[in-house]
């Protein structure tokens, strides 16, 4: 059947068709929709939101031990979290087909860095596949399971934002069934003590050579002969830009990009006058091809940072046309939604002039003006350790005006260990957990605190306050962030306390509940003081020196009403 | 190959509009690709979606100077999206101002006379008061489909195939009003 689907949906489809039985992930843009789509096949594939990427990798690894075809998906930085089991699994191999999906984010549309995870395939010495559109995403996911079983290796399926979130036409096929084989205890393979691992390492190196031979003959590593003056070597989304910008050129399109097909690359290079390598971010192909002694043009022309597109590629090679220019115009950064429960906490932090270490989620937006409430954002869970480190370095200078701010899902992901560290090592930090009952930023996924699984089953709700207490924190308080007075008082009190405390600011994400009726400004009462604008609510703006509330955007949270000193904001 | 850029503000229904557009192109027998960005950008930030159709489509992304048509849901975003339009391309702009937070807080000013500025630069400019049309129909949320109707005037797909895609993609209770919204942008006499 012909369907118009995204790259992420195509990966889900490919996994289904390949007879995948277990799939795990922690949501992260641009990878989140892979598991959301796999959940459509939940009668055939067990799927879960795992607490974090490392756990996701370990659960799928267990299923792979038993011979079940399994898939784990994450965004590029998620693979850092899961890197430990990844490198072990590279030695252990795959009894059942094991596909590891990494969705990289060139251009950093929704990420803190632009790391190129092709480097992981090389470092871990496993096979890597790179699709260039939705149809290939489906096909290569399927082939990934076959390659994995044939060579006893995990396979890294490397996507980028433009593969994950672009749509194209695919031809779907029927599902094949691959029932798990019988489980056999095999400690030489799966219990990698040094003595066993030394033997496995030799296997890994031999496997890489066999894979290289396979890569040389792989039907989707293919040469499209054209004009032989220039030959372009490329992979993934860059292939599409190359076809558009250099329609006449000869192209070597690589789909199995680790290990690289050395013979095929030499054959191609020997038949063209000049070799150009077009790839986003790191010179991954380029440095490998150069190391083979082949002269290429690469990153001296093609940008190293940011995403590519046809225009950028044209400009890199000096043949772009004149374009419309625009003068500098006001930027429109993303904002916390009207009625977002995080706003109350950030308003208080900002008012109390606290130093706040931040974390990853919608709430990172609290760093933007006018709230300016966060000082740092490093990686998932870092807020808690970062805050403790500041306290250690600066002591009393900062202790009384320091908080860590972390979301509920992020806290489950990797905040708990940081909290235990503070209690264990006698810290006094204050941790605010923004509990909005969802993983909002990535599209509102369930997590261990929501009482529901990815497959839609009810489950035990894990309470944040129970965890905090179990970690040894004695001062645990729950506040309603819509109540600014209460929130401010509790934060003020707890930052001063010379013991660790946890404040849970609890309110569902504004996008998940029915809005209250909008509020209204009485123009006669409004003095135009702009105090309400400090909330940074997108529904409030100034018109003719008076505040106005957009009734279509306002969600009736009532925070602005509490901020206004002139009682100018009222319920309709 | 026809390349269409749709831009506006996160929350204006751009993704649904480009979905319908892509499916209509597929229905008409073309190869189609569509690209958009999720995540951070959807929280009220600038949003851009690309749809390309033709005999064979490679890049899902439209670079500067490549768009045949640019459909802007908001005037400031029309200015921002302008570089994507070909020198002789057509722009359809929703005559609607949504000041970003930086403007609302008074830090910067919203550019004046946007429509005139655009008229000077763009070869063919169509300006529509999509919000007013949608409000007159009784649902501001159909603005996206009104604008899609205007876009449809410039595309080679039949009115019936647009409507059948809308029937598939739009949820039951708002279907009728969305069809009316589409037809108000793409009336039969055009
Ligand atoms: S999606 Fe939810 S958590 Fe994210 S900004 Fe909007 S209201 Fe806040
Ligand atoms: S009540 Fe005030 S702060 Fe809340 S959403 Fe409406 S305008 Fe914004």
For residue range A47-98, list pLDDT tens digits in order.
999 999 999 999 999 999 999 999 999 999 999 999 999 999 999 999 999 9
Domain topology for A342-512? Rossmann fold (3.40.50)
Of B124, B127, B62, which Cα lies nearest the Cα of B89?
Answer: B124
Domain with CATH 3.40.50.970 in chain A: 2-217, 342-512
Mean pLDDT of A532-545: 92
Known binder of ligand: residue A560? yes
Structure tokens at A264: 């095929």
Domains of chain B: 2-185 (3.40.920.10)
pLDDT value at residue A321: 80
Q: What percent of chain A has pLDDT over 90?
A: 95
What is A519-571's CATH topology? Alpha-Beta Plaits (3.30.70)
Return the number of other C-beta atoms located less than 10 Å from residue A369's C-beta: 12
The pLDDT of residue A158 is 98
Residue A333 and residue B77: Cβ atoms within 8 Å?
no
Give the closest ligand to the alpha carbon of residue B44: 1
Mean pLDDT of A497-514: 96
Whole-angstrom CA distances from A277 to A211, A221, A527 are 22, 15, 62
Neighbour count for residue A287 (Cβ, 10 Å): 13
Flag if A335 and B58 touch (Cβ within 8 Å): no
Model confidence pLDDT, tens digit, residues A324-345: 987 788 989 889 999 999 999 9
* From B9, B39, B87, residue closest to A110, measured CB to CB: B39
Mean pLDDT (chain A) is: 97
Contact indicator for A324, B82 with CB cutoff of 8 Å: yes
- Span(s) in chain A for CATH 3.40.50.920: 222-316
Is the distance from the beta carbon of residue A86 to the nearest atom of ligand 1 less than 6 Å?
Answer: no
Instruction: Single out the residue of A288, A244, A282, A283 nearest to residue A265, CA to CA.
Output: A288
Residues A110-135 have pLDDT tens digits of 899 999 999 999 999 999 999 999 99
Touching check for A328 and chain B: CB below 8 Å? no
- Give me the pLDDT at residue B42, please: 66
pLDDT at position A454 over 70 = yes
What CATH number matches the domain at A222-316, 1.10.300.10, 3.30.300.250, 3.40.50.920, 3.20.20.70?
A: 3.40.50.920
Non-local (6+) Cβ contacts of A430 within 8 A are A387, A402, A403, A404, A491, A494, A495, A497, A500, A501, A502, A503
Burial class (CB in 10 A: 0-12, 13-18, 19+), A460: exposed
Please tell me the least confidently modeled range out of A22-26, A500-504, B111-115.
B111-115
The model's pTM? 0.97
Share of chain A above pLDDT 70, in %: 100
| Half-sphere exposure at residue A279, Cβ-oriented, CA atoms within 13 angstroms | 26
**Structure-token pair, residue A395:** 């002591």
Alpha-carbon dihedral angle through residues A268, A270, A271, A275, given to the nearest 10 degrees: 70
Mean pLDDT, range A454-470, rounded to an integer: 98
First CA to last CA distance, chain A? 52
Residue B169's pLDDT is what? Answer: 92
Give the pLDDT band of residue B39 (cuts 50, 70, 90): low
- Find, in chain A, the residue whose alpha carbon is nearest to that of B140: A552
**CATH 3.30.70.20 residue window(s) in chain A:** 519-571
Question: Considering only CA atoms, which residue is closest to atom 2 of ligand 2?
Answer: A560
For residue A419, pLDDT over 60 is answered with yes
Is the Cβ pair A110, B38 closer than 8 Å? yes
Tokens of B87: 């020198």
Name the token pair of A92. 């252990």
Nearest atom in ligand 2 to the alpha carbon of residue A518 is 6
Is the CB of residue B175 less than 8 Å from the CB of residue B148?
no
Q: What does R_g of chain A's alpha carbons equal in angstroms?
A: 26
What's the pLDDT at B189? 67
Residue A352 has pLDDT above 90, yes or no: yes
A182-211 confidence digits (pLDDT tens): 899 999 999 999 999 999 999 999 999 999
Residue nearest to atom 4 of ligand 1 (CA): A362
Q: Does ligand 2 lie within 6 Å of residue A93's CB atom?
A: no
Residue B99 has pLDDT above 80, yes or no: yes
Q: What angle is formed at CA A185 by the lines to CA A207 and CA A128, rounded to 5 degrees?
A: 30
* pLDDT for B190 beyond 60: no
Task: For residues A353 and A375, give the distance between their C-alpha atoms in angstroms, rounded to a whole number.
Answer: 11
Chain A residues touching residue B76 (CB < 8 angstroms): 329-330, 332
Instruction: Look at domain A2-217 and name its CATH class.
Output: alpha beta
In this predicted complex, what is the ipTM? 0.95
Provide φ and ψ at B51, rounded to 5°.
-135, 130
> If you measure from the C-alpha of residue A339 to the centroid of ligand 2, how many angstroms do you get, rounded to a whole number?
6
CB A11 within 8 A of CB A157: yes
**CA-nearest residue of chain B to A322?**
B65
The yes-or-no verdict on residue A156 having pLDDT over 90 is yes
Give the tens place of pLDDT for each residue, A249-298: 999 999 999 999 999 999 999 999 999 999 999 999 999 999 999 999 99
| Residue-by-residue DSSP string for A55-121 | HHHHHHHHHHHTT--EEEEEEHHHHHHTHHHHHHHHHH--SS-EEEEEEE-TT-SS-S----THHHH
* Residues A254 and A233 sit within 8 Å (Cβ to Cβ): yes
Ligand 2 pocket, A549 CB below 6 A? yes
State the distance from the centre of ligand 1 to the C-alpha of A409, rounded, in angstroms: 13
Average pLDDT, chain B: 93
Q: Is the CB of A540 under 6 A from ligand 2?
A: yes
Q: Order of strands across the sheet with A166-171?
A: A2-6, A166-171, B31-36, B46-54, B2-9, B67-72, B85-94, B124-128
């Amino acid at each position: 059947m012909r369907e118009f689907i995204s790259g992420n949906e195509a990966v889900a489809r490919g996994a289904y068709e390949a007879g995948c039985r277990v799939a795990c992930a922690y949501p992260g843009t641009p990878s989140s929709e892979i598991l959301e789509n796999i959940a459509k096949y939940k009668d055939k594939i067990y799927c879960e939101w795992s607490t974090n990427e490392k756990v996701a990798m370990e659960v799928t690894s267990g299923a792979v031990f038993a011979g079940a075809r399994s898939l784990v998906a994450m965004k590029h930085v998620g693979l850092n979290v899961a890197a430990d089991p990844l490198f072990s699994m590279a030695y252990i191999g795959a009894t059942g087909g094991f596909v590891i999906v990494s969705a990289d984010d060139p251009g950093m549309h929704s990420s803190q860095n632009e790391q190129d995870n092709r480097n992981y395939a090389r470092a871990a010495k496993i096979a890597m596949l790179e699709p260039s559109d939705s149809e290939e995403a489906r096909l290569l996911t399927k082939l990934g399971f076959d390659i994995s079983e044939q060579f006893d290796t995990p396979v890294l399926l490397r996507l980028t934002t433009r593969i994950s979130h672009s749509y194209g036409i695919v031809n779907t096929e029927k599902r094949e069934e691959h029932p798990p084989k019988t489980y056999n205890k095999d400690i030489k393979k799966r219990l990698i003590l040094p003595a066993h691992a030394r033997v496995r390492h030799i296997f890994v190196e031999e496997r890489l050579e066999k894979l290289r031979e396979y890569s040389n003959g792989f039907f989707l590593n293919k040469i499209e002969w054209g004009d032989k003056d220039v030959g372009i070597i490329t992979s993934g989304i860059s292939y599409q830009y190359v076809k558009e910008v250099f329609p006449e050129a000869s192209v070597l399109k690589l789909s199995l990009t680790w290990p690289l097909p050395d013979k095929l690359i030499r054959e191609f290079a020997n038949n063209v006058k000049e070799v150009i390598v077009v790839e986003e971010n790191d010179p991954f192909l380029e440095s490998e091809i150069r190391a083979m002694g082949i002269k290429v043009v690469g990153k001296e022309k093609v940008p190293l940072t940011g995403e590519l597109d046809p225009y950028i590629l044209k400009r890199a090679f000096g043949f772009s046309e004149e374009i419309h220019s625009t003068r500098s115009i006001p930027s429109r950064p993303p904002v916390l939604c009207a009625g977002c429960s995080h706003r109350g906490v950030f308003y208080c932090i900002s008012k109390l002039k606290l130093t706040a270490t931040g974390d990853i989620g919608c709430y990172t937006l609290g760093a933007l003006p006018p709230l300016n409430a966060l000082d740092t954002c490093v990686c998932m869970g870092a807020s808690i350790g970062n805050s403790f480190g500041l306290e250690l370095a600066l002591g009393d200078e900062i202790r009384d005006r320091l908080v860590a701010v972390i979301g509920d899902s992020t806290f489950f992901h990797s905040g708990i260990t940081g909290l235990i560290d503070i209690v264990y090592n006698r810290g006094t930090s204050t941790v605010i957990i923004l509990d909005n009952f969802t993983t909002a930023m990535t599209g509102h996924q369930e997590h261990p605190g929501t009482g529901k699984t990815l497959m839609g089953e009810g489950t035990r709700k894990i309470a944040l306050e129970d965890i905090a207490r179990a970690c040894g924190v004695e001062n645990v308080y729950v506040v309603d962030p819509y109540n600014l007075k209460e929130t401010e008082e509790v934060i003020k009190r707890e930052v001063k306390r010379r013991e660790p405390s946890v404040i849970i600011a609890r309110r569902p994400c504004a996008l998940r509940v029915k809005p209250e009726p909008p509020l209204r400004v009485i123009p006669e009462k409004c003095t135009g003081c702009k105090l309400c604008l400090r909330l940074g609510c997108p529904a409030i703006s100034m018109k003719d020196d008076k505040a106005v509330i957009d009734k279509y955007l306002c969600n009736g949270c009532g925070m602005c009403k509490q901020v206004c000193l002139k009682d100018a904001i009222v319920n309709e | 190959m026809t390349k269409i850029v749709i831009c506006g503000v996160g929350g204006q229904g751009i993704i649904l509009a480009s979905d319908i557009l892509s499916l209509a192109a597929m229905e008409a027998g073309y190869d189609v690709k569509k690209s958009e960005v999720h995540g951070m950008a959807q929280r009220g930030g600038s949003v851009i979606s690309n749809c390309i159709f033709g005999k064979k489509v490679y890049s899902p992304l439209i670079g500067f100077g490549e768009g045949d048509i640019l459909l802007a849901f908001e005037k400031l975003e029309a200015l921002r999206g302008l570089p994507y339009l070909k020198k002789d391309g057509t722009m359809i702009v929703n005559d609607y101002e949504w000041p970003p937070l930086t403007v609302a807080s008074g830090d910067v000013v919203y550019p004046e006379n946007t429509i005139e500025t655009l008229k000077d630069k763009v070869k063919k400019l169509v300006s529509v008061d999509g919000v007013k049309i949608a409000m007159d129909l009784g649902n501001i949320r159909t603005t996206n489909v009104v604008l899609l109707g205007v876009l449809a005037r410039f595309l080679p797909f039949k009115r019936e195939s647009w409507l059948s895609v809308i029937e598939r993609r739009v949820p039951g209770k708002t279907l009728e009003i969305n069809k009316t919204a589409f037809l108000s942008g793409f009336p039969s006499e055009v």
